[in-house]
Structure 1
């Protein structure tokens, strides 16, 4: 059976991983004033857009996910012919309409695919499953990596669906941002009052960085640490401890809102990489999606991995 895997461009995976494993992207378009870029996870294009636009007016950006009709057209024009079963893994539905758009499109796709497949010489049925990753950015990528592993191992679609649904509820995402003022401006532009002016001002004045935890569709601060470098090191140390204790899948995904050389120079990074290597865990790193950067600002770090329930111990 030909199994396809679809992700949206907020899923922070390296471009070479996406190409090698034939993942299909639902691009998210970013508009800042007159400047428009569809995010196809091209690192150079993202960094160029970041340098010229995000730092200046990123908080005012409009992010435009694939619509119901665009998703329907992508499937009916290509995917129902190229594959027999497709898993569509989306950013958490609590933060984006992509999941609901894909779910709505799926009804039309399943009603309309038969003559298209038959014209292409395929008489077997087509099926698709839309799965909510329940997380963001690098954490969203963890479920996609497992989907690739299961597919390449020849696991059947029913077992894949069961394991991916279970895994999504056990992925932990952590994020540290550099600029709380930017986060407040972005949240205010979107009508989200979760980052208040007083909190942003106090945090910036004292150089306090919250550690945000994404889990099962919810995002909340779990620690407040003085200094960005110090907060990142303590996060990387914590992730290393979880790796040493044993993860549910052998991968840690990481993204950074800027050039990867800056990520690799952060304190604690080298030790975390060594810990992953020592325990047979793959560390996948990538430039953060453009969508991610306009929402959380330049220089943010996100980390994702699958693990048992735990408390952040900084």
Structure 2
């Protein structure tokens, strides 16, 4: 059985990893002023976004996730002909309508795939399974990495889906923003009251940064640090501890809302890399999606891993 994975563009994974494993990307349209971007994890498009230096104007960006019709076209014109089973992994349904769009599209896809395959001379049934990663940005990555591993191991679709649901329920996505004013402005634009004006002003005045976590569909602060550099050191040090304690999926994904060449220079990153090397954990580095950057601001860091449930230790 030919099996593959599809993700939405806000799932932060390296382009090389996506290409190596034939992972399809459901794009997100992003408009900032008069500039239009197709967020499909294309490094050139991400570079174009960064080079335009849109800065604080990005908080007013309009984003449009892949529509129900777009998902149907992707599957009926391509994926149902190339695969026999596709696992669709999306950002948490509590933060984006993309999961709902994919589920709605699946009804038409499963209704019409047979005639499409018969016309092309492709025999047999087609399966489509939708999995909510219950996290966002780099936090969605562990479930995708595990899906690839299970497919390579020739596991059955039912077993893969069960395991991915378990991994998604135990995936942690941490984020360290650079600019609280930006984060507050974007939250206000989207009607999200999670970052209040007083907190943004006080945090910026004292250079206090929140450490945010996405876990089981919920996002919110779990700690705070003084200064971005110290925050990076704290976050990477914490993840290194979790790596040594043992992960459910032997991979950690780090995404950065800027030039990836700056990532190794952040305090604490070398220690995280050493912990991964010592334990045989794969460290995946990815640029943050354009969607991610317009939602949390350029220069932010996100880290994702899957582990058994544990208390936050910041």
TM over 0.5: yes
1:47 aligns with 2:47: yes
TM-score (norm. length: structure 1): 0.98
Residues 90-125 of structure 1 deviation map (CA, whole Å, 9 limit, x = unaligned):
010000000000000000111111111111112311
Structure-to-structure mapping, 1:215-226, within 5 angstroms? 215-226=215-226
Which residue in 1 is equivalent to 2:108? 108
Moved more, 236-245 or 42-51: 42-51
Alignment check: 8 A CA contact 1:255 1:286 kept: yes
CA distance in 2, matches of 1:23, 1:50: 24
Alignment check: 8 A CA contact 1:71 1:105 kept: yes
TM-score (norm. length: structure 2): 0.98
Which residue in 2 is equivalent to 1:12? 12
For residue 161 of structure 1, report the CA deviation from its aligned partner.
Answer: 0.6
Which residue in 2 is equivalent to 1:291? 291
Which residue in 2 is equivalent to 1:200? 200
1:260 aligns with 2:260: yes
Deviating 4+ runs (over 6 angstroms):
none
CA distance in 2, matches of 1:50, 1:200: 24
For residue 56 of structure 1, report the CA deviation from its aligned partner.
Answer: 4.0
Which residue in 2 is equivalent to 1:23? 23
For residue 298 of structure 1, report the CA deviation from its aligned partner.
Answer: 0.8
Which residue in 2 is equivalent to 1:97? 97
1:227 aligns with 2:227: yes
Which residue in 1 is equivalent to 2:61? 61
For residue 45 of structure 1, report the CA deviation from its aligned partner.
Answer: 2.3
DSSP-derived class of the 1:161 partner: helix
* Unmatched tracts of structure 2, length 5 or more: none
CA distance in 2, matches of 1:79, 1:139: 25
Which residue in 2 is equivalent to 1:147? 147
Structure-to-structure mapping, 1:152-167, within 5 angstroms? 152-167=152-167
Moved more, 119-128 or 163-172: 119-128
Which residue in 1 is equivalent to 2:131? 131
DSSP-derived class of the 2:258 partner: coil
Which residue in 2 is equivalent to 1:308? 308
* Unmatched tracts of structure 1, length 5 or more: none
Residues 18-49 of structure 1 deviation map (CA, whole Å, 9 limit, x = unaligned):
00100000011110111101012122321321
For residue 131 of structure 1, report the CA deviation from its aligned partner.
Answer: 0.7
Alignment check: 8 A CA contact 1:258 1:287 kept: yes
DSSP-derived class of the 1:72 partner: helix
Alignment check: 8 A CA contact 2:38 2:45 kept: no
Alignment check: 8 A CA contact 2:11 2:141 kept: yes
